[in-house]
Every structure is written in structure tokens, then in C-alpha cells.
Amino acid sequence: MQQSNHNACILVIFGATGDLTSRKLMPALYDLEFKNALHGHFRVIGFARRKKTNEEYRKEIFDSIKKFSKMKVKNDVWERLRDKIHYHQSEFRDFDGYMRLDRFIEKISGQKSKNCNKVFYLAASSEFFEVIVDNLKKAGLAFKGSREPYHRVVFEKPFGNNLKSAAKLNDIIGKSFDEEQIFRIDHYLAKELVQNLLVLRFANSMFEPLWNYKYIDHVQITVAEDLGVEKRGSYYDKAGALHDVMQNHMLQLASLVAMELPVSLNAADIKEEKVKVLRSIEPFSVKEVHNITARGQYGEGKISGKKAAAYKDEEGVGKKSYTETFAALKLKIDNLRWTGVPFYLRTGKRLRERVAEIYVVFKQSTPVLFHEHLKNSELNMLIVRIQPEEGISLQFNAKVPGAKILIEPVRMDFCHECKFGPNTPEAYERLLNDVMLGDSTLFTSWGEVENSWKLIDTITKAWQGKKPKFPNYEAGSCGPREADALIEKDGRKWIEPQKPSYSVLLENNHKK
């Protein structure tokens, strides 16, 4: 990553003492500084409610960088970043805090605040989005329109909690910022193997001709976490797996797998194709939801041999909570490429392992010659391993050595880290840099958000209408039986993640 004048900006983080800032944003800024990608005039201002001095804040940030940064913590790099970090104490609702912020920017930048490039990062609960945007406008800190100096605003997910609230929020923001100034985060888009999807599909002659209903039997997407809700119980209990992951990451992944070739690599052209996918998803009614979804909530269990509490016993979660910690969904995309090809999506917490994978499963080959031998065999598959141990695998059939014809599936693995090294930018590092560059390719447009909520709202409505029997899966298991039934009724099975062949190699490399 190169330093550029675009990076000479004031980044104001609203929610600067929160979990996201300490675990992701500040370590990402450190990694950028490590790579010399932050301009000498770059400044970050932490905006939060608690009283603390600059020095206290810097010390806290250093502690989190030591804990969470991917790069080696070096004193000279930290000292360069430290001098760029400032703390501004204020309530989000206190207008005077924004006027003080204006003067503070002038003080630390040595020029009028209105002449500075500014990025406002809302790492705060979405209930504050409106008041923050409003106060920024009233205080003259932000201007509508894409011009120099730039003023951009970044929103963390969730963007609204249904279509109505998202649309209201979008209208409010639209009064202060143009769409080009708005960056809605879906950090999954910045994961290296997710970015690789377009290259895999459109820069290789061997996949694209097969990428349609004639050759593909179905697509599966699994985003599984072994962690529970950690310290985010009170947020998660209001969101659940459907809103927290399905509405954004999962539908984004499905769109990237299913989209048509965009006119160019321009952000708007790529987003346009993704919106078309979301709009082409076969509509379903509230009554049909139970046929195409499954949900679950974890009870007690064991993760890596250690006892794990039930969801209802987690901090911040209601004892009688009906919030789902697992969601599965079957979608059909009603267009010429995908007619009749189901997309099965599942995501959950406290599952057996942390893994995010896409499986593109090909149809059985024409039954000639090896008809008998292929009877119980597995289908050919392309597997994109988003995390951990990023890579791509191709599963095909091979002959087992010996006189008889025996056929077994084998996998050819591409290990991303073995080829390109371990220092691929973390998602937030890439995203922060892109905001400063004004590149919104890896962010979601309003059209994507709007169409995702339209689908999810129908599921929410159906689920709210019927109380589930929770808990229905053990922590540390593969999820609820209902999710198996969802796919098995179509004569298919969830593909359980397998360690790639390069796992041991990576493990040994990491120990060195």
C-alpha cells in the first residue's frame, strides 16, 4: 500500500473506546502505519463519552494493538502512530461537543477544519447514527457533495434492522451526504478470498463456461463460528443470526457467486450486478418461509473439550430469549444462468469450528463408462475457503491404485498464504485505506441493503409469528437437526468442512 495525499485526512471514530475500535480499527491503522501507508498529516480522533486524557487513551490503544495487531509491534512504528492519535470526550447527543471537535481539528491540523479531508467512522450503535450525522451537519463539520476536501462517512453494520428503519436512516443520511460519500461496511467483502471470487470466475477460462444450471447442481455457503456472543450479548439478542450475518455477509457472498460479468471493475458496475442477483431471488411468502429456512439456538455443550454455556446463560442475553443463533436458508435465483439451482446458506454461533466456505457443487457426470463405479461417489466441487487457512480446492474423481477400477474423490488445494505470504491486509486495513482513497467497491450500496432487507423482512415476520422450541442444538455441534432436514428433503447434504492438505504446513510455519 502506498502513501498518497488522499491519506492526509482527519479520521474521527465515534465509539472510540469500544470493542470494534480496539480489536479491529486501531490494529488496522497500526498495520497501515507499519506499511508506511499513513500520510504524515493523517490524524485520528477518538470520540467517546468517558473522560480520559490523550495519554491515557494512547496507552489503551497501544495495549489493544499489542493484543490484536497482525504485524510485529515495533517501537518506531508505534511512536509514529501514537503521535497521530487524539482523544475527544463528548456525548454523541451533545451539540457543543461537535463545535469543540471543529476547533480541536483546527488545533491539531494547523488549518481550518473546513479545509481538511475528513472521514467520520460511526463505530457506534445504530441508534446514534441519526443524531451524529445531524450534529455533524449542523456544526458545519460535514458537507454534502463530492468535492475537495472530501468528507466521507462510514457506517458499521447493521444498517437499520429492517427495510423500514434502513430506508428512514438512508433518507436522513441522504440529507447530509451524497451516496458517493457514504461507505456502508460489510467487512466480509474485504476478505482476500472474497475479493478473489471475481478473479476466479472471470479471469479463468475453465470455470466461467461451467458456471450455470447446466453444470452446477447447487451452491452451499457456510459461515460458522465456534465463539458464542462474547461481550456482545445485549446487541446480539436483538439481532440474531438472521440480521447479524445472513442479511449482510451471506447474501453478499451469494451475490458474488451468482452475479453476471460486470461492465467494468468500477464500483458502481459491480454493485449493479449484485443488486440484480438480489432482485432475481425467487420471491417467497411468509407462509412459505418454513419450507425454505431453519433456525436454531445453542444449548450447553463442549467446545474443544471445554464446557460451553447455553445461549440463554450468556451475559446480556434474556433468560427466555427466542433469538436464533443459527439460521439456514434455501434460495433460488430466477434467471437464465441459475434456473433450478438451489443456494443453501447457513450460519451460526457456537458450532464445531470457525470456518467460512463456499462450495460450488457440480452435477454428476454423464452416466457412461463409469456408471457403476460412480454410484456412491461424491460430486465434483470447487471450494473457496474464506477463513481460516484461505485457499481454493478442486475436488474431482481419481482412480485408486490397483488392478480393479475403484474411484475416489481427491482434492487439489491452492494455499493462499503459502503462495502469497502471511501478510495479506486484514479486512479493516483494506477498508480504511479504501475509504481514504474514495474507492467504494468493497462497501455496500443502498440498493444492496434495500433488497437484502426485503428478503429478510419476510423471514423475520414468519419467524416472529411462531415460537420455536429452543435450544435445539448443542454448543460444539454442527447445528440443529432442522437445518439438516432442510437440505436432506432435496436429496442433498451439508458438506462438512475438511482441513485442507496444507493445514499442517501452515501450522508449522506459524510456530516458527
Ligand X SMILES: NC(=O)c1ccc[n+]([C@@H]2O[C@H](COP(=O)([O-])OP(=O)(O)OC[C@H]3O[C@@H](n4cnc5c(N)ncnc54)[C@H](OP(=O)(O)O)[C@@H]3O)[C@@H](O)[C@H]2O)c1
Annotated catalytic residues are 249
Residues 406-435 that bind ligand X (CB under 6 A): none
Work out how close the CB of 125 gets to ligand X at its nearest, in angstroms, rounded to a whole number: 5
The residue number with the shortest CB distance to ligand X is 18
Q: Is the distance from CB of 429 to CB of 259 less than 8 angstroms? A: no
User: In the range 203-262, which residues lie near ligand X by CB under 6 A?
Assistant: 232, 235
Q: Does the footprint of ligand X cover residue 18 (CB under 6 A)?
A: yes
Cα–Cα distance measured from residue 458 to residue 477, given in angstroms and rounded to the nearest whole number: 28
Please measure the distance between the N-terminal and C-terminal CA atoms of the chain and give it in whole angstroms: 26
Q: Are strands 326-332 and 381-387 parallel, antiparallel or unpaired?
A: unpaired
CB of 298 to ligand X, least distance (A): 19
Closest CB to ligand X among residues 49, 201: 49
Interface segment toward ligand X; rule CB under 6 A; list 57-65, 80-88, 121-129, 253-261: 121-129
Which string of x and - marks every residue 335-364 that binds ligand X (by CB under 6 A)?
Answer: ------------------------------
Which residue in 55, 113, 51 sits closest to 83, CA to CA? 55
CB of residue 89 to ligand X, shortest distance in Å: 8
DSSP sequence for 126-189: GGGHHHHHHHHHHTT---SSS-SSPEEEEEPSPS-SSHHHHHHHHHHHHHH--GGGEEEE-GGG
**CA-based nearest residue to 134, from 99, 181, 176:** 176
Rounded Cα gap, residues 64 and 511, in angstroms:
22
State which residue, 138 or 375, has the beta carbon closest to ligand X.
Answer: 138
Cβ neighbours of residue 476 closer than 8 Å, sequence gap 6 or more: 226, 301, 302, 303, 304, 308, 350, 351, 352
Residue 136 CB, shortest distance to ligand X, in Å, is: 14
Shortest distance, position 366 Cβ to ligand X, whole Å: 46
In the set 26, 37, 77, 124, which binds ligand X (CB under 6 A)?
124
Nearer to ligand X, 117 or 248 (CB): 248
Residue 414 burial by CB count (10 A; 0-12/13-18/19+): exposed, middle or buried?
middle
Nearer to ligand X, 16 or 487 (CB): 16
SS3 119: strand
**Minimum CB–partner distance for residue 449 and ligand X (Å):** 14
Binds ligand X by CB under 6 A, chosen from 9, 15, 161, 329: 15
Size of residue set near ligand X by CB under 6 A:
20
- The piece of 120-128, 300-308, 461-469, 499-507 that touches ligand X (CB under 6 A) is 120-128
Q: How far is the CB of 161 from ligand X (least distance, A)?
A: 10
Q: Are 90 and 100 in contact (CB under 8 A)?
A: yes
- Retrieve residue 450's grid coordinates: 434495500
CA angle 258, 263, 269 (to 5 degrees): 75
Cα 11 to Cα 311: distance, rounded to the nearest angstrom: 37
* Alpha-carbon gap, residue 77 to 32, rounded angstroms: 10
Q: Which of 156, 426, 434, 482 binds ligand X (CB under 6 A)?
A: 156
Contact criterion met (CB below 8 Å) for 275 and 449:
no
Beta pairing partners, 355: 224
Q: How far apart are CA 147 and CA 117, in angstroms?
A: 10
In this chain, which of 10, 11, 16, 251 binds ligand X, going by CB under 6 A?
Answer: 16
Choices 123-131, 329-337, 405-413, 441-449 (CB under 6 A): range interacting with ligand X? 123-131
124 vs 462 by CB, closer to ligand X: 124
CB nearer to ligand X: give 43 or 184.
184
Taking a C-beta distance cutoff of 8 angstroms, is the pair 166, 451 a contact?
no
Nearer to ligand X, 294 or 317 (CB): 317
Return phi, psi of residue 344, to 5°: -105, 125
DSSP collapsed to 3 states, 471-498? CCEEECECCCHHHHHHHHCCCCCCCCCC
Which of 30, 34, 57, 92: binder of ligand X (CB under 6 A)? 92
Considering only residues 32 to 51 of the shown chain, the ones binding ligand X according to CB under 6 A are 48-50
The distance of closest approach from Cβ of residue 123 to ligand X in the complex, given in angstroms and rounded to an integer, is: 5
Stretch that binds ligand X, among 15-23, 357-365, 386-394, 493-501 (CB under 6 A): 15-23
Q: Between 156 and 389, name the residue whose CB sits nearer to ligand X.
A: 156
The residues that touch ligand X, with contacts defined as CB under 6 A, are 15-21, 48-50, 91-92, 123-126, 156-157, 232, 235
